[in-house]
């Protein structure tokens, strides 16, 4: 009787050897599946996330795991598509708000960042940065509450806030330099 039969494999699932074997046998096939669905640019990310899930759920990985792994990869791809769609919808909504708001004029414009510029800058941020800033600024959460929502420590949140503010400042400066991105090439003179 072989010592590497299904029961022995199940017993070893807490070891990295079991995972190394699973990864070595099936990564290329999961990667190939991902390439056919999302292209080579995202395929490695999908395959890596699939195996991270397999490690976390090692107690339920079947003895013949290929179909299960491909099912996990399919779900990872579906979730990535949902996240991309959500981000696109949020960005479109922020751009629509920016387009609908009248420009601020006069002295007030010199004292505050134009709502239009801010909304365009928020729309340009990566979702993680936008979420941090919106939790604190728009939803009024305290740093402790925001850290709880994001599932991170307060020091990690402080780093995320710092990074998000840097990115927002950069996008505000870019948006302020080009106040009307839809008017490129238009002249009123």
Per-residue pLDDT at 8 exceeds 50:
no
In a domain, 58, yes or no: yes
In this structure, the answer to whether residues 109 and 158 fall within a common structural domain is yes
Region 10-39 average pLDDT? 85
Query: Is residue 98 assigned to a domain?
Result: no
Question: Are 164 and 124 within one domain?
Answer: yes
Lowest mean pLDDT among 9-18, 52-61, 113-122, 131-140: 9-18
Which of the listed residues 81, 112, 130 is the one where a domain comes to its end? 81
Tell me the pTM: 0.48
Lowest mean pLDDT among 9-18, 34-43, 106-115, 146-155: 106-115
Instruction: List, for residues 58-69, the tens digit of each pLDDT value.
Output: 999 998 899 999
Highest mean pLDDT among 9-23, 95-109, 132-146: 132-146
Query: Taking a C-beta distance cutoff of 8 angstroms, is the pair 104, 113 a contact?
Result: no
Q: Cβ distance 152 to 160 under 8 Å? A: yes
In which band, very low, low, confident or very high, does the pLDDT at 184 lie, cut at 50, 70 and 90? very low
Pair 151, 120 in one domain: yes
Q: Tell me, what's the pLDDT at 98?
A: 66
Give a yes or no: residue 59 inside a domain.
yes
Secondary-structure percent of the chain, ordered helix, strand, coil, rounded to 5: 75, 0, 25
Which structural domain, as residue segments, surrounds residue 144? 104-181
Three-class secondary structure of residue 146 per DSSP: helix
Total number of domains in the chain: 2
User: Does residue 22 lie within any of the structural domains?
Assistant: yes
**Is the separation of the CB atoms in 180 and 155 below 8 Å?**
no
CATH code for position 165: 1.10.10.10
């Amino acid at each position: 009787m072989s010592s590497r039969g299904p029961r022995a494999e199940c017993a070893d699932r807490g070891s990295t050897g079991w995972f190394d074997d699973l990864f070595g046998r099936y990564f290329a096939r999961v990667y190939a599946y991902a390439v056919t669905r999302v292209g080579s640019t995202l395929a490695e990310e999908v395959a890596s996330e699939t195996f991270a899930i397999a490690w976390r759920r090692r107690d339920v990985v079947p003895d013949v795991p290929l179909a299960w792994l491909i099912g996990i990869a399919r779900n990872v791809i579906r979730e990535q598509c949902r996240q991309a769609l959500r981000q696109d919808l949020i960005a479109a909504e922020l751009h629509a708000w920016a387009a609908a708001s009248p420009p601020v004029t006069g002295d007030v414009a010199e004292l505050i960042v134009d709502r239009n510029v801010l909304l365009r800058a928020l729309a340009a941020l990566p979702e993680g940065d936008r979420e941090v800033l919106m939790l604190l600024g728009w939803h009024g959460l305290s740093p402790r509450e925001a850290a709880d929502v994001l599932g991170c420590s307060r020091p990690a949140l402080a780093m995320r806030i710092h990074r998000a503010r840097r990115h927002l400042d950069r996008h505000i400066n870019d948006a302020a330099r080009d106040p009307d991105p839809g008017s490129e090439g238009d002249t009123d003179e």
